[in-house]
Amino acid sequence: METEPRQARLWQTSLVSGNAKHEPPHKPVSLKMVAEKVGLSSAAVSRVLNGSPAAKSIPKPTQERILEAARQLNYRPNLLARSLRRGTSHTVGVLVPEVSEGYATAVLAGLEQGLLQAGYFFYLISHHHRTELIERSQVMLAERAVDGIIAIDTALQQRHRQLPTVTISCPDKHESVTNIVLNHKRAAELAIDHLTGLGHRHIAVIKGQAFSSDTEARWQAIQHAAANANLKLSPELVAQLEGDSPSHDPGYFAAQRLLASKTHFTALFAFNDVSAIGAIRAFREAGLRVPQDVSVVGFDDVQSAAFQNPGLTTVRQPLRTMGILAAEAILRQIASPAERPSSRQVMVDPELVVRESTCPPSPKKPPKTPS
């Protein structure tokens, strides 16, 4: 005679063999189930498990009994439901063009540091500069009950009015938005003054892609710095990055176009480190030495810049600090929604990092550029 249901024996066998195929579904353990186990009200159990100040009125042994019951039942609170009741989700939405080596990764590291210290997490959306996706992403994030939005290098034509918003390197000004920006004027001066100080008078420039938020501001700053240094920028020595690839390819092809112009230059100021590294490869393939024949200055100071051969001279953008500042700004707005700024700009200063990719121009006649 069977004393144990066959279904139960099959379930036990499946657990021993590691096959969970026949495992019956488990209902999530509710607060009510914990309360029933200890024989107390759900309100009392909730006060203890949620760390409410009112839990102090409950005797210590009773609190320990509630906590032990929750552990035995493997109780997990519904954090989303709790957050919605409190009116905050402790999450932030972040918009970036793409995630790759360089700008966005360094900013996200600082952003993550600032948010995690405050117990916040973030949703990350890569929009690849697609206007419709930028707009739709803000709606999607609002539907997921985020407490605010941070947009990095993102052209926000319109922002979500109900959500606190902070931007990093964004060209558009919006009411009640804090924008973290680099001092481009100072950045251009550092690079141009460094090159002219070494004796360079024929300087090529690689501009950023048309869709990048920093492109126009940085180009205007470069022109201003060149004028102050009595330096003429030849149109033939200005190339723009093309395409949306975050790889070294756009810089490589831009440098090839500069070489194809047959216009003599002894130095290059690139839009970012990634494009500078691509340009160095193009120069080497053309038989040019860096820095003896062409000095190269990058921008950003990504982690790999110091480990290039030669080490890349670059304008360091304090990207991690910008991420931390953005986190602090969004947290302030979330904590005090009635005190949101009408609009505010926080400017950070760059720093020149001199490595081995720059030196005085060679007095010898430069090598012939390829046909």
Question: For residue range 11-35, what is the model confidence (pLDDT) as tens digits?
Answer: 333 333 344 444 445 567 888 888 8
pLDDT tens digits, one per residue of 324-347: 999 999 999 888 877 666 678 899
Residue 354 in any domain: the answer is no
Same-domain pairing of 96 and 141: yes
**Residues in CB range of 64: below 8 A, 6 or more apart:** none
Asked if residue 300 and residue 248 are part of one domain, the reply reads yes
Strand arrangement of the beta sheet that strand 295-300 belongs to: 238-240, 203-207, 267-269, 295-300, 313-316, 351-353
Identify the pLDDT of residue 3: 45
229-282: pLDDT as tens digits: 999 999 999 999 998 887 899 999 999 999 999 999 999 999 999 999 999 999
* Position 7 in a domain: no
Last residue of a domain, one of 299, 317, 335: 317
Q: Does 155 fall in a domain?
A: yes
In terms of residue numbers, what domain contains 36? 25-77
Asked if the model's pLDDT at residue 65 lies above 50, the reply is yes
Per-residue pLDDT, 223: 97
Provide the token pair at 209.
Answer: 């892609």
Asked if 281 and 310 sit in the same domain, the reply is yes
Domain CATH number, residue 40: 1.10.260.40
Question: What is the value of pTM for the model shown?
Answer: 0.73
Asked if 311 and 249 sit in the same domain, the reply is: yes
Looking at 77, 104, 138, the residue that finishes a domain is: 77
Task: Please check whether residue 136 lies inside any domain of the structure.
Answer: yes
- In this prediction, residues 122-137 reach a mean pLDDT of 89
Calculate mean pLDDT across residues 92-106.
84
The pLDDT mean for the chain works out to 85
| Residue 115 in domain | yes
What is the tens place of the pLDDT at every residue in 180-217? Answer: 999 999 999 999 999 999 999 999 999 999 888 889 99
Same domain, 250 and 334: no
Which of 369, 356, 345 has the alpha carbon at shortest distance from 314?
A: 356
Domain co-membership, 212 together with 255:
yes
Task: Tell whether 326 and 264 lie within a shared domain.
Answer: no
Is 214 within a domain?
yes
Do 311 and 333 lie in one domain? The reply is no
How many domains would you assign to the chain?
3
